């Protein structure tokens, strides 16, 4: 048979094509048989994956981190790798890991277990020591290596400021649950909840990969500089007065922003395990919201505000003070038991006359008096966004334990109870043109990278703007007339002391110890802050005007610096331009 | 009739030539198919590799039994960033800053030390805005359009971009 003249060309093409085909087949077999691909194929189309999103961070109003996250390690042991247990235990001990906990965990595992979690929440430093030991022992010819140890990093809560604002923040336990304070109140939005999901193993479906959102970051109204200052002042006050506990609250009366809030004791939130030691028994975690007490004479500002607003009295209304008054068949005496003679209403406040305010309350009558007390929010929780707020108690006519005498005693803060925050919220009406603001700790939250600010909420308008200005002016005059230790040169401040007897659980009042309080706000023409101070059972002196007024002055001096508040003259000069 | 047959026989291609043309056409089709398949394979492989890389960055444990040994994974970087942020907050805490300030000879200011000067137009101190902060958020997956767009989109974009670049002065 005659061969075609160009047959070699066809033959070449055929050989090339055949070679390419064979090469492709070889490559397919090689790729399919590779270890990596075999591993991927074994996974199937989807694989289970555990996600541990980080808990949302907490910042103060100026962007300083108050609660963040740190890396800790879970340390596990693969029993199928036949680990040399004495070597493993020695390495754990050398890394500073508690062997008692390790032994306990091992004892809890069934004999058939293939993997054991030896320890969890191990600090990065300890884990690093163990990793270094593992590297050194790797490939040990005697088989005494640590290759069976596994490390799984995850987040744990960390508080870089330690005990700063601890009463407000609360804490997070190892199971990622928030307790007390902000951590409990906003646990549902802060916690990035761990989830177990099926994720596609196919790299071409990477866009279907689930995006697990982290916990939301939040910004608090707290100013850490002010917070640190009031905590320092409070600690010094407890030392100098011998008080058993103390509380200071600072709020912006226009917005309700809590700028600082502290009570004693405080705790380093990184060591929350010590809580039962630091807060034994029924000790409240945050007295500002969780401990109601008889506030005493600071309530007189509310009684007087109600009477002024109800046109029962005017600032120049004169009352003749014989030193006592009988209300509901009960004799109520002034704090010194002496007659004070003729006093106008400012004098009644300046001298903190119990019988004068009891008289004012009787002039108001039950309906009007208790109506105003309720409008000021007494007897109801403020609703602040902190966990474990208590309501206090305001007995009302008709209640089984209310007696007519209560009208007189409630007028000066006895026979009723309120938390420091309730008093602050009530007083915000006096400092904010009659409008009472909702106290809040959440300034903003970050959602999808956008900051959503919390809006100011007005709870109500218990008194008119005119009344608010009048009572503020009377209180400023009262402070000035008594040359109070709370006065700050150059700044006009409204304020009122409160020295209250401590009720006994068995009935009656403690004849030795008192609760000393002070509430004040300023500058008078444009209030930027309300400060409430409460010292429980001070020993150096019983009078709040002596014990607490100087502390108030210290706090206000700090606020003037931190909030950049010019003195009255400068401010008027600037506003007049 | 014979004349007609003779003419047809003269213009008809030789059989081997017709056969070669068919083979040529077949090979041409094969080459075209191979080219299309090659381009498709190339794109698919690149997309798969990119997807694999993203998988490795986002979820190293899919392939790696020791995920924490994957130094460049997103989760590792995120954890390190968070850790560093917390460490930085500790170093700049109120107590640390106070101690450093005191060591440097600074004293706490009192209201008496303050002098206020009216500066027209000077902005008041505002509260922090963390809107732009993305430290705590996973970055959205970024996939180049080459891996998702159709050929039609690709050629259209090429035309648009070339037209746009041509319009440049």
- Please give the model's pTM, rounded to 2 decimal places: 0.81
pLDDT (0 to 100) of residue B147: 72
Could you give the CA distance from residue A87 to residue A77 in angstroms, rounded to a whole number?
Answer: 12
Q: Which residues of A touch B122 (CB under 8 A)?
A: none
Share of chain A above pLDDT 90, in %: 59
pLDDT (0 to 100) of residue B64: 44
Give me A269's structure tokens. 């939130």
* CA A142-A75-A100 angle, 5° bins: 90
Task: Say yes or no for a CB contact (<8 Å) between B86 and A69.
Answer: yes
Task: Tell me the β-bridge partners of A257.
Answer: A440
Q: Is B44 on the interface with A (CB under 8 A)?
A: yes
CA A444 to chain centre: 14
* CA A308-A309-A315 angle, 5° bins: 20
Domains of chain A: 69-140+147-160 (no CATH), 224-269+285-576 (3.40.710.10)
What is the pLDDT confidence band of residue A82, given thresholds at 50, 70 and 90? Answer: confident
pLDDT (0 to 100) of residue A247: 97
pLDDT in tens, A142-190: 777 888 888 888 888 999 999 999 999 999 998 888 999 999 999 999 9
The stretch A396-411 carries a mean pLDDT of 92
Pairing assessment for the beta strands A171-172 and A178-179 based on DSSP bridges: antiparallel
CA separation, residue A368 to residues A307, A340, A346, A459 (Å): 9, 27, 21, 19
The stretch A343-366 carries a mean pLDDT of 93
Name the residue in chain B with its Cα closest to that of A67. Answer: B86
Of the listed ranges A407-416, A473-482, B152-161, the least confidently predicted one is B152-161
State how far residue A438 is from chain B, nearest Cα, in angstroms. 19
Q: Which of B136, B138, B143 to mutate to test the interface with A (most CBs of A within 10 A)?
A: B136
pLDDT (0 to 100) of residue B139: 44
What is the pLDDT confidence band of residue A238, given thresholds at 50, 70 and 90? Answer: very high
**Contact (CB, 8 A) for A207 and B141:** yes
User: Taking 90 as the threshold, does the pLDDT of residue A395 lie above it?
Assistant: yes
Burial bucket for residue A254 (CB in 10 Å: 0-12, 13-18, 19+) = middle
H/E stretch holding A383 reads none
Nearest to B137 among A59, A64, A449 (CB): A449
Q: Which residue has the higher pLDDT, B3 or A401?
A: A401
CA separation, residue A56 to residues A189, A218, A534, B90 (Å): 8, 7, 33, 17
Q: Which residues of B touch A209 (CB under 8 A)?
A: 54-55, 58-59, 141
State how far residue B3 is from chain A, nearest Cα, in angstroms. 31
Give me A331's structure tokens. 């004799």
Determine phi and psi for A63, rounding to 5 degrees.
85, 15
Name the residue in chain B with its Cα closest to that of A205. Answer: B51
pLDDT (0 to 100) of residue B140: 46
Pairing assessment for the beta strands A442-447 and A324-327 based on DSSP bridges: unpaired
pLDDT (0 to 100) of residue B1: 55
Average pLDDT per consecutive 10 residues, chain B (169 residues; last block may be shorter): 64 80 91 92 89 76 46 74 91 94 92 84 76 50 68 82 59
pLDDT (0 to 100) of residue B103: 95
Give me A427's structure tokens. 């007083």
**Contact (CB, 8 A) for A250 and A241:** no
> In sequence order, which residues have a C-beta less than 8 Å from that of residue B28 and are 6 or more positions away?
none
Kindly give the interhelix angle for B15-58 and B74-91, rounded to the nearest 10 degrees.
30
Of the listed ranges A177-186, A252-261, A521-530, B78-87, the least confidently predicted one is B78-87
Task: Say yes or no for a CB contact (<8 Å) between B54 and A225.
Answer: no
Share of chain A above pLDDT 70, in %: 97
**Contact (CB, 8 A) for A231 and A524:** no
pLDDT (0 to 100) of residue A507: 81
* Residue B31: Cβ within 10 Å count: 10
State how far residue A293 is from chain B, nearest Cα, in angstroms. 32
**Contact (CB, 8 A) for A294 and A500:** yes
Listed residue (A294, A279, A234, A324) closest to A513, CA to CA: A294
Place of tokens 């006895």: A414
Listed residue (A555, A554, A567) closest to A529, CA to CA: A555
pLDDT (0 to 100) of residue B6: 66
pLDDT (0 to 100) of residue B66: 43
Q: Which of residues 48-87 of B touch A (CB under 8 A)?
A: 48-52, 54-55, 58-59, 61-63, 66-68, 76, 78-80, 82-83, 85-87
pLDDT (0 to 100) of residue A19: 93
**Contact (CB, 8 A) for A142 and A123:** no
Task: Say yes or no for a CB contact (<8 Å) between B133 and A574.
Answer: no
Task: Say yes or no for a CB contact (<8 Å) between A204 and B51.
Answer: yes
pLDDT (0 to 100) of residue B169: 39
pLDDT (0 to 100) of residue B135: 47
- Sign of the torsion formed by the C-alpha atoms of A399, A403, A406 and A408: positive
pLDDT (0 to 100) of residue B143: 63
What is the pLDDT confidence band of residue A547, given thresholds at 50, 70 and 90? Answer: very high
Strands (E), A365-493: 436-437, 442-447, 450-453, 458-460
- Sign of the torsion formed by the C-alpha atoms of B79, B82, B85 and B86: negative
Determine phi and psi for A6, rounding to 5 degrees.
-110, 30
Could you give the CA distance from residue B164 to residue B169 in angstroms, rounded to a whole number?
Answer: 10
Q: Which residues of A touch B66 (CB under 8 A)?
A: 150-151
Task: Tell me the β-bridge partners of A218.
Answer: A58, A445
H/E stretch holding B13 reads none
Q: Which residues of A touch B134 (CB under 8 A)?
A: 449
pLDDT (0 to 100) of residue A2: 61
Could you give the CA distance from residue A277 to residue A288 in angstroms, rounded to a whole number?
Answer: 20
Could you give the CA distance from residue A318 to residue A113 in angstroms, rounded to a whole number?
Answer: 86
**Contact (CB, 8 A) for B135 and B85:** yes
Task: Say yes or no for a CB contact (<8 Å) between A68 and B109.
Answer: no
The stretch A292-314 carries a mean pLDDT of 95
SS3 for A256?
coil
Give me B58's structure tokens. 């986002």
The conformational region for residue A433 under phi > 0 = left, psi -120 to 50 = alpha, else beta, is left
Task: Say yes or no for a CB contact (<8 Å) between B66 and A573.
Answer: no
CA separation, residue B164 to residues A196, A264, B153, B158 (Å): 48, 69, 16, 10
User: Taking 90 as the threshold, does the pLDDT of residue A280 lie above it?
Assistant: yes
pLDDT (0 to 100) of residue A125: 85
**Contact (CB, 8 A) for A420 and A392:** no
């Amino acid at each position: 048979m005659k061969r075609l003249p160009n047959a070699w060309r066809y033959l070449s093409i055929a050989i090339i094509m055949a070679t390419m085909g064979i090469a492709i087949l070889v490559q397919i077999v090689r790729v399919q048989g590779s270890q990596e691909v075999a591993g991927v194929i074994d996974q199937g189309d989807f694989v289970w994956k555990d996600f541990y999103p980080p808990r949302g961070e907490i910042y103060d109003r100026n962007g300083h981190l108050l609660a963040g996250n740190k890396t800790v390690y879970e340390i596990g042991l693969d029993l199928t790798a036949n680990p040399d247990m004495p070597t493993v235990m020695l390495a754990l001990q050398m890394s500073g890991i508690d062997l008692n906990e390790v032994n306990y965990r091992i004892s809890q595992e069934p004999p058939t277990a293939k993997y054991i979690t030896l320890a969890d929440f191990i600090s990065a430093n300890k884990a690093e020591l163990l990793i270094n030991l593992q590297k050194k022992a790797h490939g040990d010819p005697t088989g005494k290596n640590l290759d069976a140890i596994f490390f799984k990093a995850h987040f744990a809560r960390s508080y870089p400021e330690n005990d700063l604002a601890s009463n407000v923040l609360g804490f997070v336990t190892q199971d990622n649950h928030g307790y007390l304070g902000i951590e409990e109140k906003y646990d549902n939005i802060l916690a990035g909840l761990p989830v177990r999901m099926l994720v596609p193993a196919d790299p071409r479906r990477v866009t279907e990969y689930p995006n697990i959102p982290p916990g939301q970051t939040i910004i608090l109204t707290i100013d850490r500089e002010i917070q640190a200052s009031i905590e320092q002042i409070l600690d010094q006050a407890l030392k100098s007065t011998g008080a058993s506990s103390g509380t200071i609250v600072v709020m912006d009366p226009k917005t309700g922003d809590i700028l600082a809030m502290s009570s004693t004791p405080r705790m380093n939130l990184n060591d929350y395990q010590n809580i039962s030691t630091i807060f034994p028994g029924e000790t409240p975690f945050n007295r500002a919201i969780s401990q109601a007490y008889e506030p005493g004479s600071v309530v007189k500002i509310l009684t007087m505000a109600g009477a002024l607003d109800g046109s029962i009295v005017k600032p120049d209304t004169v009352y003749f003070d014989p030193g006592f008054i009988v209300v509901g068949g009960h004799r109520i005496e002034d704090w010194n038991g002496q007659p004070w003679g003729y006093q106008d209403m400012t004098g009644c406040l300046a001298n903190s006359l119990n019988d004068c305010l009891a008289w004012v309350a009787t002039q108001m009558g039950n309906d009007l008096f208790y109506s105003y007390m309720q409008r000021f929010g007494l007897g109801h929780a403020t609703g602040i966004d902190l966990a474990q707020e208590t309501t206090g108690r305001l007995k009302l006519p008709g209640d089984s334990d209310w007696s007519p005498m209560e009208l007189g005693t409630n007028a000066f803060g006895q026979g009723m109870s309120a938390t420091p925050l309730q008093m602050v919220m009530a007083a915000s009406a006096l400092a904010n043109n009659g409008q009472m603001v909702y106290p809040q700790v959440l300034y903003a939250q970050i959602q999808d990278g956008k900051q959503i600010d919390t809006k100011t909420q007005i709870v109500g308008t218990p008194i008119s703007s005119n009344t608010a200005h009048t009572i503020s002016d009377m209180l400023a005059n009262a402070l000035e007339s008594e040359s109070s230790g709370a006065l700050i040169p150059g700044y006009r401040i409204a304020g009122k002391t409160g020295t209250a007897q401590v009720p006994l659980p068995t009935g009656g009042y403690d004849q030795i110890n008192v609760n000393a309080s002070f509430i004040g706000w300023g500058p008078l023409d444009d209030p930027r802050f309300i400060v409430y101070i409460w010292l429980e059972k001070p020993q150096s002196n019983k009078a709040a005007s002596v014990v607490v007024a100087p502390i108030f002055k210290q706090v206000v001096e700090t606020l003037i610096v931190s909030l950049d508040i010019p003195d009255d003259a400068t401010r008027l000069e600037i506003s007049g331009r | 009739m014979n004349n007609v047959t003779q003419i047809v026989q003269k213009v008809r291609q030789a059989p081997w030539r017709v056969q070669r043309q068919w083979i040529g056409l077949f090979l041409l089709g094969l080459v075209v198919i191979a080219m299309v398949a090659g381009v498709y394979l190339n794109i698919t492989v690149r997309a798969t590799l990119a997807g694999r890389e993203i998988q490795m960055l986002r979820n190293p444990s899919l392939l790696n039994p020791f995920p924490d040994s994957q130094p460049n994974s997103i989760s590792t970087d995120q954890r390190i960033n968070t850790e560093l942020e917390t460490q930085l907050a500790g170093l700049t805490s109120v107590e640390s800053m106070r101690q450093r300030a005191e060591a440097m000879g600074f004293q706490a200011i009192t209201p008496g030390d303050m002098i206020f000067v009216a500066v027209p137009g000077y902005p008041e101190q505002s509260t922090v805005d963390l809107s732009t902060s993305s430290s705590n958020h996973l970055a959205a997956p970024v996939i180049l359009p080459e891996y998702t767009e159709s050929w039609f989109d690709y050629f259209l974009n090429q035309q648009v971009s070339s037209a746009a670049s041509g319009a440049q002065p």
